[in-house]
Amino acid sequence: MALNGDVCVVTGACGFLGKRLIKLLLEDENLSEIRLLDRQIKLEDVQSFNDCRGDTRVRAYEGDIRDSAYLRRACRGASTVFHVASLIDVNGSVELSELYGVNVKGTQLLLEACIEENVSSFIYTSTLEVMGPNPRGEPLYNGTEESEYENSIKTPYSKTKKEAEERTLQANGELLPDGTRLATCALRPMYIYGEGCRFLLDIWQMGSQQERPVPHVLPEAKVNPVYVGNVAAAHLQAARSLKDSSKRNVIGGRFYFISDDTPPVSYSDFNHAVMSPLGFHIQDKLPMPLCLMYVLCFLVEVVCTMLRPFIRLVPPLNRHLLTMLNTHFTFSYKRAQVDLGYAPRYTWQEARKSTTEWLAGQLPALREKLET
């Protein structure tokens, strides 16, 4: 079912996934209006959608997601909210209070605004990290929404995303002032790559600064990254399905894993597949045994904790990140295919080509930055 004539709100509109989702909505749907929500919105961010907007009005709402009055204004008259915005933190560089304020409190305030303003559908962008991997690095092969996996979430980022997801799903069925009910669902994408992916640029920069290949991870620790265009397509399909009265009760209150046909591969082999045409290299093997790396990470974390009252140091690698990079953790998108009608729009070959070409266009500016 199409979203024709609807008013949609996209939080995190100027981010990696947010921009791709907005472009897809403008290309595939005849919306009445799209509202871009972000802390900072540049004029060029809005103008970048001119070629595909058609008759759809694009409005910018600059503000803080922790501001309830701002959220109510943005949600007034809207039918669907895509909550993409969050603070991402894999190395412990962000204070817990900041993470909780944006990821949990911001989500709760947005849900309350949706209820107060009669927004009927709410799609939350969650993360694979709410599932794991756990600190023991136990693998999971081709997991599904029904998979049982013992997980004791340790990182502040994972905890805040998990709580925000739970609050989203618990809000499903809330009675709205107009007598209808709110329908919510959550999408858990794998590691997202594609044009605009800052992590790929960071990896390239790390290798360039060190002037040596980037360290390898265990080749048997495979994951299934997902292309940003396919994640955007999954969000659109979720919104269409929530609008369909025959599917709304099935989907509402559920989460879905979102992957595509990118082949299961280790993180380092994935980086090599995407960046090797540009001269990117990876070490042939781990720089030291994994258990020794884990012990070193633990010692560095202890030192950083002891120094925190005086100075905040953030190690480039911690135990959580080391475990995540070296644990087999793959998932199926079949449930999203059945319930949402999701199917990857882009093949692995198309996604890899587009990503490599985008990276090639970024490298001159990145090299100039490194030289200055």
Q: Which pair of tokens denotes residue 147?
A: 């998979």
CA distance 332 to 349: 19
> Which residues are within 8 A (CB) of 120 and not within 5 positions of it... i.e. 6 or more apart?
79, 80, 176, 180, 182, 183, 242, 243
Residue indicated by tokens 């070959």: 349
C-alpha distances in Å from residue 219, one per residue of 48, 216, 284:
39, 8, 10
Catalytic residue status for 141: no
Q: Residue 124 pairs with which residues in a beta bridge?
A: 83, 186
Please, how many CA atoms are within 13 Å of residue 185, restricted to the half-sphere of its CB?
Answer: 29
Burial-class residue 313 by CB neighbours within 10 Å (0-12, 13-18, 19+): middle
Q: Which of 157, 191, 256, 342 is catalytic?
A: 157
Burial-class residue 342 by CB neighbours within 10 Å (0-12, 13-18, 19+): buried
Residues annotated as part of the active site: 157
